Structure 1
Amino acid sequence: MVQAAHSRTDDADWDPPPPYEASTSSQWVDHSTNTFVQIPCPTAAVPELASTGDGRVDVRVGSRFSRNVENILSDHPPDPLHAVEETSASPSISDVDFDLNLNIVVQVVGSRGDVQPFVALGAELRKHGHRVRLATHAIFEDLVIAAGLEFFSIGGDPVELMSYMVRHPGLIPSMESLRAGDIQRKRASIKEILNGCWRSCLEPDQREGTPFVADAIIANPPSFAHIHCAQALGIPVHLMFTMPWTSTRAFPHPLANMKYNGSDPSVGNLISYHFVEWLTWQGLGDLINAWRKEVLELDCIPATEGPNLAETLQVPFTYCWSSALIPKPQEWGAHIDVCGFFFREPVAFEPPPSLAEFLQSGPPPIYIGFGSIVLENMEATLNILLDALKRTGVRAIIAKGWCHMQGEESPNIYYIDDCPHEWLFQRVAAVVHHGGAGTTACGLRNGKPTTIIPFFGDQPFWGSMVKATGAGPEPIPYKALTTEKLVDAITFCLEPTTAAVARRISDQINQENGVRAAVNSFHAHLPRRDMECDLIPGEPAVWKFKKGRRIVKMSKIAAFTLKAQGRLQAKHLQRYSTKPLSIEVQRWEPVTAISSATLSTVAGMADAGAGVFIDPYREYRRLQTTTEATGVSVPEVEGSRTQEMPQNVSNDHNDSSHAKQMALASTISLAKFLGRSSRGLFVEIPLAATEGMRAIPRLYGDKLHENAPVQDWRSGMAVGWSGFTHGVYEGFTDIFVHTYRGKKKRGSLGVAEGLSKGLVSLAVKTGSATIGLVAYPNQGIYRSLRSAMHKGSAQQIDEARWAEVWLLDTDRAARVDVEALCSRYDDLLSTRDSALHLWRR
């Protein structure tokens, strides 16, 4: 049994994350708390955190559930096709030769500490010739523009978000939050961000109107739109983040407060990631699916697939922290890299005379600041800070931050508005802050002992990591902050041994170049060969031309040139997907597969069927309300003219108009009912049966033939026939294969076991192959019909692509060697050259 509750307000009831212990080994270690964990940092111990209300979720896993999960995991070892790294350390990422110049949109949601690392990343990407657009909140426009990057506002107010997170840090909303309407406002903000992220992929520059269509997406996970935008555009997506977001046994999710009763707490760590993802999807899944359907015109994502979509699709992931703090966990695959912290180039800064005078007037001060945090009770917090400074007798620079924290003037305290941390942290003795990843990284890079006062999110996690290295004291949760605790923390930071540890970590961090490594990671995971134009080397392909089985990939300039030469027409071109994403339901066996598909179909039919009767009434109420409010009857369309009828028109005409609209609403619902029932009966249920039977051999370790994604009726026919031939062949040969393997391993007992497996394979593989002859083509036909009926987003993408070359690249197109281009085009369409080209692909 798994339960979730708000972070507790009583320290005694709060269960800390598993502590880390100093060791030179990577083995599991036994703690006094009977907790076993894999060591993420072999340098020092992290005691239990005494945190309250820090935004994490209590996850209680009962002993029976724990045993069942452990038994399942022990019976199903990792798939050898997805082998993990042999060591926990990330391999060095060498420079990657990538010569395509791409339009890259970087989508970031969060505070300044979240945005600033991506500003540094964007600047590095520009050095490689890419056009970089950073899409984030409007408040960061000046920060982005100053770095020479394009800016696009996606909406959302990070100040309001920070205020909300301080007041209600948990993933599970409180009753107070529900009564205040905070959840509705937050969902509205997420919807605005989703739409903003989609617009950032293909709308012109908001300042200069320069056309832009993304060739690749980089995003942090809280932007939520990334994978879905990439699927709609058919382009690569790469996630980057400052906190762990990929499941691992090494440590729990930073947002989960685990209480695991099993014998192997590493399994509890693993569960915590899936639980947080599931909880997040429960709150936003309906919002994301509605946006996918209405804006992107994509199928909704099943509830079983939504929570762990990035891991299922193995989306490339780069973590921007130093392995000096957290080495790469052992089970993270090759598509995940730990590259080091992202630091921007030093910015020119001339301190105001008062600041320069303060720094020179005494010993180095300590820095205290909470960045983007909006404090609940600023006066009380400030009093604690001032009392602690008075008791320790140290000088301090206090950052006002977003809450404009400032007290009375004092010769030992300087209040600062905004100052680059890169400059300031070189001139202080220690830093005290909220534990944002960027601020933490900057402090450690400059060798400064660090005290973290976490508020929510990943901040307690970074406090634990700093403590683990010995570069700072035990973190002090904001709601547990007292003068005495802060005095002890400042005293600890000013000890020579703490400063020595901080300097050692600084030396390690300064040997890394996280931004450069991240760009190399990004390039390494791009499908370089699939992205390049066949006609103009070095240009990314965005169109394809098909002639029979022959395919030519074209850049926008190549297509523009051939169109201008009359060699092809725009209607003959198809949008080319450099990285197609297919999101399918994962089936485990036929009973639950068919049951879930049937229930989904019945629920959809019931909803649409109820609409046949309910929607006309809703339409009638809407029409009545509109007429009463405006004094104008509902518009009627006659040909191409819209007639607005005055209010004094006869009631008979109004009644007739209302009846037509009500009948139309009922007809639309009836059409939805027929469509939903047809899709369920002819596509979803047969497909569930096919995939369910096909999955059974996995239960006894058999490998399956991987099907290509079904995108249209052609690919559906191909997958159906391919699945039939493989299924029938494997079904009959498995009888002999499994019997022989069983005899070889276990003698006569193995013969019986192998024969049983063979007979099961014969039944399920041939059954799946036979039903698949109908299921996969039907799925392809459905997707072809859907694409033909919903061309809004596709047309929007196509128009934006043509606008790019018409308004932006005409000069480059004029420099193209037209004769060579046309000759290459003719060669690729020839039978001999085309066959060679297809073989190379």
Structure 2
Amino acid sequence: MDDIPPPPYELISTGPLLTTSTSLTSDGTLNVALSSSDPAKLGSLIPEARPTTKLHHQFSTQQSEHRTRPVPNLNVVIQVVGSRGDVQPFIAYGIALQRHGHRVRLATHGCFDKFVRDSGLEFYDIGGDPTDLMAYMVKNPGLMPSMEAMRGGDIGRKRKMMAEMLHGCWKSCVEPDAGTGRPFVADAIIANPPSFAHVHCAQALGVPAHVMFTMPWSATRAFPHPLVKMTASDMEPGVANWLTYGLVELMTWQGLGDVINSWRKKTLDLDPVSNTVGPSIVSYLQIPHTYCWSPALVAKPGDWGAEIDVCGFFMRDEPEYSPPADLARFLSAGPPPLYVGFGSIVLEDPERLHSVILEAARACGLRLLISRGWSKLGGDSISNADVFYLEDCPHEWLFKQVVAVMHHGGAGTTACGLINARPTLIVPFFGDQPFWGNVVASAGAGPAPIPQKELKVSVLVQGFNYLTSAPAAEAARAIAQKMRSETGVQAAVESFHRHLPRDAMSCDVTRSQVARWTVSKNKRVVKLSDQAVAVLIARKLIKLNELEPLRVKELDTDVRRWDPVSGGAASTLGVVTDFTASLGGLFIDPYKAYKHASTIGSSASAAGKATVAVGGSFAKMTGVLVKGTLVDTPLALAEGMKNVPRLYGEEVKDHGKVTDWKSGGTVAAKTFGDGMYHGVTGVVMQPWQGAKKEGFVGFLKGAGKGTMGLLTKPGTALFGLVGYPALGIQKSLMAKKGRTQAVLRSKGAQVDAMASQLSSVDDSEIEEIMKWFRHQSGRA
């Protein structure tokens, strides 16, 4: 990573419909300018908003029978990247999942180990330093890094940290508990978007993924992406708002796409995601989203689909707390103070900020309760009659004791203040904080947000005056009343359950248990839980080598080839790009190997390492050419020719997905037979069928389709004979690699753990499992 220069953080494009330009300011803020030469046509390409149905918690309608199916108890991993304020809501959520019977592991940064375990949840350290992340974000409050950050090497450190956290997120899905050694393999993944690993881990495991977040991350006409400052001309504001989300996805992928693809290939044994899919992979795969804010503050936009819910803030149960004597004395010695705290924000100049706050409070006659936070706001200052300096204290208790709150605008802190009817002044630094500052201000529960660099005594005095006014108090009370009728955590549990493929996850023997294995009996694939497998192996009704790990949900990131021309061109471009990268490695990799080895060993040793690197580079180049010739190009042409009929409205038969060498041969055989038969017979049948429907015009249409099919369908058959078996062999070889073996080991360890507990299982339950399986396998 040290040798990789920062990517060019800019996007300038001019097209027939849309012109986009970005400018990077000195503090890292990204300004986006959009314009269109044909706004009406551009608007027609953007999804229309639909009337919002006022359902409880803004949930989308689902079929009633799906809601009544039982949800088996799952191993759920929750992956969270961020500060304590990002982690805390998921503790409340994880506890709620536990109450439903799920085993919950919260995977986040190591510094939150005790915080998570003390709550009763399992913990997994994914690496990364949240203090460093917070410091980076304060310096670069917009989407993109400042020029100073680029020169100072912050980008390289951030990319290294992201690579570490991606690897940690994967291990959190399959590694045993560090404390107890209890085996764990995730049955479902929940994550916030900055963790980035969620959808890729889910694809590797074949399990459902679910995104949960405190700020809008899904494209909508209702408001722009919170991380973008946008100006638009010659287009409808809603269209411009919608486009900002795609820009954020593009810019994020530009900075991290190569890191993610390198991790996918080396750790997950997955093919790289193409640049056409990578930026929008979550929306492309329609991963369910649950947004954790109050619909009383921000209602679900009408253009969000059924896969997106808005449920309410995640509020944990109020912890038991007895204030220390000095805090109790301060609170009782005068009028309620104003709370000031910035949590885990790493402030650039805490002394200046502290001085401004004190002076403004004196001018307004306010007492202050200052939380020192990670930046030790106030330094070594000593509490007095007007100012109390506080270390850690639960906000649920504390906010009941104050007149109003001033903080950075984290979603959890904002929610805690509002549900306690406290007027709120937000000093945003980055991320969703400006968004929540504007939401609070638009509701009248606080003044307009004041960015930290604009915080001056005169501005803050005005903010304090409104914060302590009657209108602010009344607005805060009205919001609190609505929020108290919501059950955000429980609603989010229901949202998670509703989007699960319950039938596919349930054991065929005991429906209340999650299935993790499959076995083929009497031409039927049977799904089995760990308990069922342990019983059947112990009773010698099945063998271990008959079992296959269950893949509940397949996430297909392959780009559909719509025609042979674009498909072949894209494949060729991909091969050329990979070959060029490998060719570059022929010169760069030996130099890197020599440089690294020479720093720790002799020149002879370094020369040997460089020679090995040369051989490795030649092997990469050869592998790219072989894969391109035998797999990529034939497959792209086969898929492109196969999908040509879609262009004129004809259905295309799906012959299944290639997962190994067996399925590759099966798909090739079906494609060959179908392509040859329908390619030849279509010349006669399609004109006849067209004439029956539309007369002479239908005959002409059918003749055109039949002629096109005669050209493309046999081509699909012939190229498929090469491409599909080669793809199957490639996937079978990949299945022998580390990721699959690691999953098998962990899943096997879970079965072993269950086998050791069979003595506690009721004999009638064991007998029922055996009876059911004998019947299915024809041994009854």
TM-score scaled to structure 2, two decimals?
Answer: 0.88
Task: Note the alpha carbon deviations across 1:212-254, whole angstroms, 9 max, x for none.
Answer: 2211111111111111111222211111100111111211111
Q: Is the 8 A contact 1:711 1:783 kept in 2?
A: no
**2:422 match: secondary structure:** coil
Residue 633 of structure 2 aligns with which residue? 685
Q: 1:621 to 1:105 in 2, by over 3 A?
A: closer
Q: Is the 8 A contact 1:725 1:769 kept in 2?
A: no
Deviation of 1:182 after TM superposition, in Å, equals: 0.9
The separation in 2 between residues aligned to 1:768 and 1:57, in whole angstroms, is 48
**2:279 match: secondary structure:** coil
The separation in 1 between residues aligned to 2:46 and 2:367, in whole angstroms, is 58
Residue 28 of structure 1 aligns with which residue? none
Q: 1:738 to 1:308 in 2, by over 3 A?
A: farther
Which of 807, 821, 841 is residue 769 of structure 2 equivalent to? 821
**1:402 match: secondary structure:** coil
Residue 715 of structure 1 aligns with which residue? 663
Q: 1:412 to 1:231 in 2, by over 3 A?
A: same
Q: 1:761 to 1:332 in 2, by over 3 A?
A: farther
Q: Is the 8 A contact 1:218 1:237 kept in 2?
A: yes
Task: Note the alpha carbon deviations across 1:742-767, whole angstroms, 9 max, x for none.
Answer: x79xxx9x979967985796478637
Deviation of 1:778 after TM superposition, in Å, equals: 3.7
**2:721 match: secondary structure:** helix
**1:272 match: secondary structure:** helix
- Are residue 603 (structure 1) and residue 569 (structure 2) matched? no
Deviation of 1:76 after TM superposition, in Å, equals: 8.0
Deviation of 1:781 after TM superposition, in Å, equals: 2.0
Deviation of 1:343 after TM superposition, in Å, equals: 0.5
Which of 618, 622, 636 is residue 674 of structure 1 equivalent to? 622
- Are residue 439 (structure 1) and residue 413 (structure 2) matched? yes
**2:757 match: secondary structure:** helix
Q: Is the 8 A contact 2:108 2:124 kept in 1?
A: yes
Residue identity opposite 1:367 in structure 2:
Y
447-456 or 509-518, which deviates more: 447-456
Residue identity opposite 1:57 in structure 2:
L
Residue 553 of structure 2 aligns with which residue? 579
**2:181 match: secondary structure:** coil
The separation in 2 between residues aligned to 1:61 and 1:691, in whole angstroms, is 36
Which of 52, 59, 66 is residue 91 of structure 1 equivalent to? 59
- Are residue 424 (structure 1) and residue 398 (structure 2) matched? yes
Q: 1:615 to 1:482 in 2, by over 3 A?
A: closer
Residue identity opposite 1:389 in structure 2:
A
Q: Is the 8 A contact 2:294 2:483 kept in 1?
A: yes
Residue 302 of structure 2 aligns with which residue? 330
Q: 1:125 to 1:739 in 2, by over 3 A?
A: farther
Residue 435 of structure 2 aligns with which residue? 461
Unaligned runs of 5+ in 2: 1-12, 14-18
The separation in 2 between residues aligned to 1:389 and 1:610, in whole angstroms, is 61
Deviation of 1:341 after TM superposition, in Å, equals: 0.7
The separation in 1 between residues aligned to 2:207 and 2:142, in whole angstroms, is 34
Deviation of 1:516 after TM superposition, in Å, equals: 0.4
Q: 1:672 to 1:505 in 2, by over 3 A?
A: same
* Alignment length (residue pairs): 749
**1:802 match: secondary structure:** helix
Residue identity opposite 1:112 in structure 2:
R
Task: Note the alpha carbon deviations across 1:424-483, whole angstroms, 9 max, x for none.
Answer: 112222211111111111111111111111111111111111122222221111111121
Residue identity opposite 2:319 in structure 1:
V
Task: Note the alpha carbon deviations across 1:738-794, whole angstroms, 9 max, x for none.
Answer: 8999x79xxx9x979967985796478637744663365245424434324x42111
**2:231 match: secondary structure:** strand
The separation in 1 between residues aligned to 2:576 and 2:717, in whole angstroms, is 25
Which of 330, 339, 343 is residue 371 of structure 1 equivalent to? 343
Residue 62 of structure 1 aligns with which residue? 35
What aligned pairs does 1:312-351 form with structure 2 within 5 A after superposition?
312-351=284-323
Deviation of 1:678 after TM superposition, in Å, equals: 2.4
Residue 101 of structure 1 aligns with which residue? 73
Q: Is the 8 A contact 2:337 2:367 kept in 1?
A: yes
**2:602 match: secondary structure:** helix
Residue 282 of structure 2 aligns with which residue? 310
Deviation of 1:622 after TM superposition, in Å, equals: 6.5
- Are residue 786 (structure 1) and residue 733 (structure 2) matched? yes
Q: Is the 8 A contact 1:250 1:269 kept in 2?
A: yes
The separation in 2 between residues aligned to 1:533 and 1:159, in whole angstroms, is 44
Q: Is the 8 A contact 2:564 2:637 kept in 1?
A: yes
Q: 1:371 to 1:309 in 2, by over 3 A?
A: same
The separation in 1 between residues aligned to 2:54 and 2:709, in whole angstroms, is 42
Residue 743 of structure 2 aligns with which residue? 797
Q: 1:59 to 1:737 in 2, by over 3 A?
A: farther
The separation in 1 between residues aligned to 2:340 and 2:491, in whole angstroms, is 31
What aligned pairs does 1:24-423 form with structure 2 within 5 A after superposition?
53=27, 56-64=29-37, 67=38, 71=41, 74=44, 87=53, 90-91=58-59, 98-406=70-378, 407=381, 409-423=383-397
Deviation of 1:569 after TM superposition, in Å, equals: 2.6
Residue identity opposite 2:41 in structure 1:
N
**1:307 match: secondary structure:** helix
Residue identity opposite 1:173 in structure 2:
P
Deviation of 1:517 after TM superposition, in Å, equals: 0.8
Deviation of 1:577 after TM superposition, in Å, equals: 1.0
Q: Is the 8 A contact 2:126 2:164 kept in 1?
A: yes
Q: Is the 8 A contact 1:710 1:776 kept in 2?
A: no
Give identity over the alignment, percent: 44
Q: Is the 8 A contact 1:720 1:772 kept in 2?
A: no
Q: Is the 8 A contact 1:619 1:665 kept in 2?
A: yes
Q: Is the 8 A contact 1:734 1:762 kept in 2?
A: no
726-735 or 342-351, which deviates more: 726-735
Deviation of 1:610 after TM superposition, in Å, equals: 5.9
Task: Note the alpha carbon deviations across 1:536-560, whole angstroms, 9 max, x for none.
Answer: 3322111212357332222222222
Q: 1:75 to 1:418 in 2, by over 3 A?
A: closer
The separation in 2 between residues aligned to 1:760 and 1:369, in whole angstroms, is 73
Which of 482, 505, 520 is residue 494 of structure 2 equivalent to? 520
Deviation of 1:825 after TM superposition, in Å, equals: 1.8
**1:308 match: secondary structure:** helix
- Over aligned residues, Cα RMSD in angstroms? 3.3
Residue 3 of structure 2 aligns with which residue? none
236-245 or 775-784, which deviates more: 775-784
